[in-house]
Amino acid sequence: MKITKVAKAGTLESNDILIMVRPNELGKIELELESIVLQQFGEVIEQVILDKVKEMGAEGLSIKAQDKGALDYTIAARVETAISRAI
């Protein structure tokens, strides 16, 4: 699945995450993560995001995630929504 435009999902409210996706000309997946719990849960958040991207079959996209303490299911839902909006 190819990303064709910029899209976002989520908010910067507490316990939420803002996911922004855009096409990546290099054809690979790039992830930039900012989080208030980066040291404790950064690796888990990245894995949840990348697992959802892989599950959806998306390729060639850049993801910027700004986390405010979202739970895993919220992160996955925001990624899915942003990618769906971008195709």
Query: By three-state DSSP, how is residue 72 classified?
Result: helix
Domain count, the chain: 1
Structural domain including 44 reads: 7-86
Is 24 among the domain residues?
yes
Q: Roughly what angle, to the nearest 10 degrees, separates helices 72-86 and 38-56?
A: 40
Is 2 among the domain residues?
no
CATH code of the domain in which 22 resides: 3.30.230.10
Give the predicted TM-score (pTM) of the model.
Answer: 0.93
Task: Tell me the pLDDT of the chain (87 aa) as tens digits.
Answer: 888 899 999 999 999 999 999 998 888 899 999 999 999 999 999 999 999 999 999 989 999 999 999 999 999 999 999 999 999
